[in-house]
Amino acid sequence: MRRIREVIVVEGRYDKNALRQVVDATVIETRGFGVFNDRERLALLRRLAAERGLVLLTDSDGAGFVIRNFLKGAIPKSQLKQAYIPDVYGKERRKAAPGKEGKLGVEGMAPEVLLQALERAGATFEDGSPAGEGAPVTKADFYALGLSGGPDSAARRATLLERLDLPAHMTANALLEAVNLLYSREEFIEMVGG
C-alpha cells in the first residue's frame, strides 16, 4: 500500500473506506454539504492544508463540484491539489438505485482508478514507515493532562486551543482528532505536559 503525505478530502465515510483500502493516508470527510456550516471542520482543513497540503477528491456529479468549488474558495490554491475521477455510469453496490445523475462516486471506483486519480493530481507518494505510526493521543491522555474530566479542564482546553491556533469553540473530541492529525503522541505530551 502506498503512503501519501497530503491529507485527502472526500465527501463521506464510504469514500473514506474505499480510499483506505487503496492508500495509506489521512482521509477527512466533508460530510457532504455539512462542511458549508461546520466552522470547526473548515478550520481543521485549513490548518491541515497549511501543514501538509490537501488532495481534494469529490464525486464527479454536480454536488461533488459544488463542494469542490466551495473548498477551492476557502483554501489557498498553493495548498490544494485536485484529483478527479472519471464519469462512470452505474450504481454502488450498497445503494438500491443510482444517484441523481447516474454516476458512480468515489466509493464505486476501482482501486486502480483511485490510485491513478491521485497520481495525476500530483499527490506526494512517500516510502518508509506507514502513516499514523505510533500510538495516538487518547481520551485517557487528555484526562491525565487535565484537558478533560477536571474542574478547570475547559479552561485548559481553551488555553491549548489558543496556543495551537485552533478555533476557540472546538469540542474535546474535535480537539483530540486535530491533535492526532497534527502531532505525534510524544510531541503533544511533551508540548502540553512539559
What's the pLDDT at 128? 46
Domain around 154: 139-193
Same domain membership, residue 115 and residue 19: yes
Same domain membership, residue 92 and residue 11: yes
What's the pLDDT at 194? 60
Residue 29: strand pairing partners: 10
Q: 61 is written with which cell numbers?
A: 456529479
Q: What is the pLDDT of residues 93-132, one digit of tens each?
A: 888 888 889 999 999 999 999 999 999 899 999 864 444 4
2 sits in which H/E element: strand 2-4
Residue 82: strand pairing partners: 56
Residue 20 pLDDT > 90:
yes
155 in Cβ contact with 145 (< 8 Å): no
Same domain membership, residue 27 and residue 122: yes
Q: Residue 102 sits in a domain of what CATH number?
A: 3.40.1360.10
Same domain membership, residue 26 and residue 72: yes
**Number of other residues whose CB lies within 10 A of the CB of residue 34:** 13
133 in any annotated domain? no
Percent of the chain scoring above 70 in pLDDT? 95
Band of the pLDDT at 133, cuts 50, 70, 90?
low
22-38: average pLDDT:
95
24 or 178, which is more confident: 24
Same domain membership, residue 170 and residue 89: no
23 in any annotated domain? yes
Same domain membership, residue 70 and residue 8: yes
Among the candidates 70, 102, 126, a domain finishes at 126
185-192: average pLDDT:
90
Q: In total, how many domains does the chain have?
A: 2
Q: Which of 149, 162, 141, 61 shows the shortest CA–CA distance to 102? A: 61
Same domain membership, residue 53 and residue 119: yes
Q: What is the pTM of this model?
A: 0.75
Q: Residue 49: what residue type? A: A
115 in Cβ contact with 2 (< 8 Å): yes
Q: What is the pLDDT of residues 137-182, one digit of tens each?
A: 999 999 999 999 999 999 999 999 888 877 777 788 888 888 887 8
Helix (H, G, I), strand (E, B) or coil at 171: coil
What's the pLDDT at 130? 42
